[in-house]
Structures are given as C-alpha cells and as structure tokens.
C-alpha cells in the first residue's frame, strides 16, 4: 500500500526563518493526495506536558504537483517572551519561561492509493512525539534548512571577544541539550589564574537538562565582571576585583574529560571620560545577548506636534489679540534618542551590529531599568580593519516610548 510522505521539523529551529511541515504524493502512478490538516501546539516547560488545546488548526487541499506545504514560522514567532533581567544572574540559571518553546504538529490526510477509494488517516502520532525546540532567532541564507544551531554549537552568541566595563553584569546563553558534551565552565585569566565557575552556593550544578524542559535546554551563566565579583561560590583569584583593567579572562566550556569545547574572551575595558551604555537584544539565536558602547554619547529629543489655523479675532472682539495664536500647536510630544559609539572593537562585532539591527527586541540600560529602544536602521557599512585601521560603530537608539505617555 502506498501512503503519502511527510516531512516535519526536528532539532532546534529559528522561528523568524521558514519552518515547514510538508506532505507529498508517494510518486506512484494514480496515487493522489487530496488534503492535509495540521494542528499546532506551542508551550514552555516540560516536553511531556503539552497544552490540551491547539494554538492553531489548519487544513490545505493539494496543489497541482501533489505537494502540500504549511509554513508556520509566523504563527510561532508571536508566542515568545523575553526577560533582559537574566543579565545579573549569579552562577547558572534557567532561561526565562517563554524564551524557548516546544512546537508540535499533528493531523491527518486524505489520499487515494492507486485509484482506490480515498482513505483518511493520521499522518502523526498523538501527544508530543514530534515536538521540537524553537526560539525567536533567524537563520541567514544560504542556510535554507534553518539549522543555525546544532548539538555541537553550545554558546548562543556571535562574538568570541567581548569588551566589558568592570561594573557590567552580563550572562552568556548556552545551548545545553542532552546531545552535547558540555559539563562545566572554567575561568582562566591572562596571567594564568584559573578555577572552575561555580554557583553562588559553591556547587557546580548545571540546571538538569535530562528533564527535557525548555528552561534547561537553554541556560545562562553569569560570567560578566560584576556577576563574578558578586558570586560568593567562586575563588577570589578569578574575580575581576583581583585584577586590573586591561586584563582579560577566557570563559572556557569543557566536557567531562576537561577537553575544551569552545571559549569566549572577556576583555576588561577602561573608560575614564565617557559614561558607557549597555545594550541588551535578542540575537540571531533567539536568546538575550549584550554589548556595551563605551565612547562618546549624545542625547536628543525628537519633538512632534499637530497644528491648526484659527482666527485671531475671538470672543466678539473686533481687534486681533496677539495672545491668541493663529497657528496653534497641540498633541505635542517627544521621543528621546541616544547616539552611541562602540569604541575600538574587532571585526567580529560586524555580526553583533547585524544582530542588533535585525533584532525585534532591543533595550538600553538606564539606571537600573531596561528601557525598550529601536536602533536607527538603514544602510550599515560593515567595517574591515584592513580598510579603516580601527573599527568604531556609531548607532542611534530611539527610546520606544513617548516622553509624554498617551493612552491612544
């Protein structure tokens, strides 16, 4: 008996790139695929605990080439939640609820086998057998298969050199699924001081990924300078407070045999003149990331208004009053912006700038609060040191709120 062929997503997928469920005829003479249905569920938490109600139920009739495609990324991408406050986590922590989701599709199809009477049958198992992980990331062409992250890529961040202010809190997102070998982190300074990264209570416990919980498949490690300084569980020799500006430390991810998987360099940067600004954003992997703009910044207000024209002769007077505006402004408001300069960075920051420009969730740390902002987009020239010598990026961030809040 010849049944249609299905193709369903697996592994970790980025929901701002195409995600397909496909059914097609089995290419046998006189076989016909008539329709295919798809029931979608999205949820956070345990893989074994899907919701009872579908988020979406879809159905499509076959096309002329006997192929049915459901492209579902837009349906998934509206479901995510992000919390930039992971930046000041101490030790290891779970990802926020809603940042990573399980997605599962079930359904049936109707087909005819070699011209026989049409049959309706399930193309999927019930429950969550085909559930896969999704984030609100994106996968760049030519990666048409939406496979930006594999079990071998454990650090969900682009730059491998990060420039940080000594008072910066900053957490690093790690894909901690069951198929990769990551078991611990070691902090190693350029002068040779090193020790294992621990939780605040001195334990080395990583959130348990074996439970297949979305919040433990992606985790955060508080490895920024201020996170380490405030971590009571680690040795003082690896705290930035024991080192001087200009030093750097490597965050090294190891397997259970102490073999290195990957590393990220944190370089302490001094800025005695300007006030650095820290930016958080959801990067290409769909997780929270950070960058600090160290150099000169300027603040500006973008003022807007409506206006109308009226007579200067009012209240029955026959003489005009210069106190009565002929051109009257109203609905006056402002959106503030901050122009920032990165300071000297290496070419890997071209990808960071791209991530910021592509991000739908960006915020500026003002005082102790993350304030949503929009970077000024348009043409951005990616810089190469061979052309410009030293690389500095200037970006304008406009706060995503009016100075005077409006209810409508």
**Residue 69 located in a structural domain:** yes
Quick one: pLDDT at residue 8?
A: 87
Distance separating alpha carbons of residues 65 and 348, to the nearest angstrom? 44
Q: Are 33 and 62 in contact (CB under 8 A)?
A: yes
Q: Which range (41-50, 125-134, 263-272, 303-312) has the least confidence? A: 125-134
How far apart CA 383 and CA 41 sit, in angstroms, is 43
**Cβ distance 120 to 110 under 8 Å?**
yes
Contacts 24+ apart (CB under 8 A), 328-333: 329/305, 330/305, 330/306, 331/304, 331/305, 331/306, 332/303, 332/304, 332/305, 332/404, 333/303, 333/304, 333/305, 333/402, 333/403, 333/404, 333/406
pLDDT digits (tens, 9 = 90+) for 168-204: 999 999 987 766 678 899 999 998 889 999 999 999 8
- 61 is a domain residue: yes
pLDDT at 145 exceeding the cut of 90: no
Q: Is residue 222 assigned to a domain?
A: no
376-399 pLDDT, tens digit per residue, is 998 888 888 788 778 899 999 999
Nearest in space to 392 (alpha carbons), one of 333, 341, 354: 341
Residue 229 pLDDT exceeds 60: yes
Distance between terminal CA atoms of the chain? 61
CATH of the domain at 65: 2.60.40
Q: Tell me the percentage of the chain whose pLDDT exceeds 70.
A: 92
* Dihedrals phi, psi of 13, to nearest 5 degrees: -120, 150
φ, ψ for residue 340, nearest 5 deg: -125, 150
- Report which of residues 331 and 151 the model is more confident about: 331
Q: Quote the domain boundaries for residue 104.
A: 5-84+99-135
Residue 115 has pLDDT above 80, yes or no: no
Per-chain mean pLDDT for the chain? 87
Question: Which pLDDT belongs to residue 113?
Answer: 78
What is the pLDDT, as a whole number, of residue 257? Answer: 85
For residues 64-72, give the mean pLDDT.
88
52 occurs within a structural domain: yes
Element (H, E) at 226: helix 225-229
pLDDT at 40 over 90: yes
- Sheet containing 171-175: give its strands across: 91-94, 218-222, 171-175
pLDDT score at 312: 74
**Based on the structure, what is the number of domains in the chain?**
1
301 - beta bridge partners?
Answer: 336
DSSP state of 206: P
Sheet strands (E) in 81-170: 91-94, 101-106, 108-112, 119-122, 132-135, 161-165
Strand pairing class (13-14; 132-135): parallel
User: Mean per-residue pLDDT for 285-291?
Assistant: 93
* Separation of alpha carbons 139 and 147, rounded Å: 7
Give dist(CA 96, CA 86) in Å, integer: 8
Q: Are 343 and 293 in contact (CB under 8 A)?
A: yes
Q: In 284-368, where do the E strands start and end?
A: 288-293, 298-309, 327-341, 362-366
| Residue 258: band (very low, low, confident or very high) from pLDDT cuts 50, 70, 90 | confident
The answer to which of 5-19, 62-76, 117-131 has the lowest mean pLDDT is 117-131
Question: What's phi and psi for 227, nearest 5 deg?
Answer: -60, -45
408 pLDDT tier (thresholds 50, 70, 90)? low
- Strand-pair category, 260-269 with 161-165: parallel
Compute the distance between CA of residue 127 and CA of residue 193 in angstroms, rounded to an integer. Answer: 50
- Residue 21, both tokens: 């469920």
Q: Which of 96-100, 139-143, 286-290, 353-357 has the lowest mean pLDDT?
A: 139-143
DSSP string, 2-58: ---EEE---S-EETTS--EEEEE----TT-EEEEEEEEEEEE-SBTT---SS-SEEE
* Of 287 and 119, the one with more pLDDT: 287
pLDDT (mean) for 73-94: 92
Q: Give Cβ neighbours of residue 287 (< 8 Å, ≥ 6 apart).
A: 95, 99, 100, 135, 137, 156, 157, 173, 218
Can you tell me the distance from the alpha carbon of 286 to that of 356, in angstroms, rounded to the nearest whole number? Answer: 12
What pLDDT was estimated at residue 151? 57
Q: Does 339 reside within a domain? A: no
């Amino acid at each position: 008996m010849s049944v249609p062929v299905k193709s369903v997503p697996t592994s970790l997928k980025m929901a701002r790139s195409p995600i397909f469920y496909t059914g097609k005829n089995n290419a046998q003479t006189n076989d016909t695929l008539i329709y295919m249905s798809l029931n979608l569920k999205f949820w956070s938490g345990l893989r074994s605990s899907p919701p009872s109600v579908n988020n979406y139920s879809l159905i499509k009739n076959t096309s002329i080439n006997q192929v049915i495609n459901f492209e579902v990324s837009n349906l998934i991408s509206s479901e995510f939640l992000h919390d930039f406050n992971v930046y000041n986590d101490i030790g290891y922590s779970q990802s926020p609820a809603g940042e990573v989701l399980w997605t599962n599709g079930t359904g049936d199809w109707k087909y005819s086998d070699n011209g026989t009477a049409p049959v309706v049958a399930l193309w999927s198992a019930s429950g969550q057998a085909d559930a896969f992980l999704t984030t609100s990331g994106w996968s760049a062409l030519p990666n048409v298969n939406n496979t930006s992250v594999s079990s071998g890529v454990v650090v969900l961040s682009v730059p491998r050199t990060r420039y940080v202010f000594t008072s910066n809190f900053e957490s690093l997102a790690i894909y901690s699924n069951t198929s990769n070998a990551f078991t611990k982190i070691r902090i190693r300074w350029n002068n040779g001081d090193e020790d294992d990264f621990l939780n605040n209570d001195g334990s080395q416990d990583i959130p348990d990924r074996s439970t297949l919980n979305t919040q433990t498949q992606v985790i955060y490690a508080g490895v920024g300078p201020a996170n380490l300084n405030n971590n009571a569980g680690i040795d003082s020799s690896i705290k930035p407070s024991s080192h001087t500006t200009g030093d750097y430390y490597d965050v090294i991810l190891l397997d259970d045999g102490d073999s290195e998987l990957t590393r990220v360099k944190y370089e302490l940067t001094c800025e005695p003149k300007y006030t650095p600004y820290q930016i958080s954003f959801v990067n290409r992997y769909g997780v929270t990331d950070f960058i600090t703009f160290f150099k000169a910044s300027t603040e500006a207000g973008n003022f807007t208004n409506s206006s109308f024209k009226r007579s200067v002769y009012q209240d029955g007077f026959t003489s005009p009053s210069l106190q009565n505006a002929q051109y009257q402004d109203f609905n006056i408001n402002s959106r503030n912006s901050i122009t920032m300069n990165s300071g000297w960075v290496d070419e890997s920051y071209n990808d960071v700038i791209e991530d910021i420009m592509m991000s739908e969730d960006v915020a500026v740390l003002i005082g102790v609060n993350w304030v949503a902002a929009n970077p000024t987009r348009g043409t951005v020239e990616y810089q190469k040191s061979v052309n410009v010598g030293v690389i500095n990026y200037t970006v304008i961030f406009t706060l995503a709120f009016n100075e005077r809040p409006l209810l409508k």
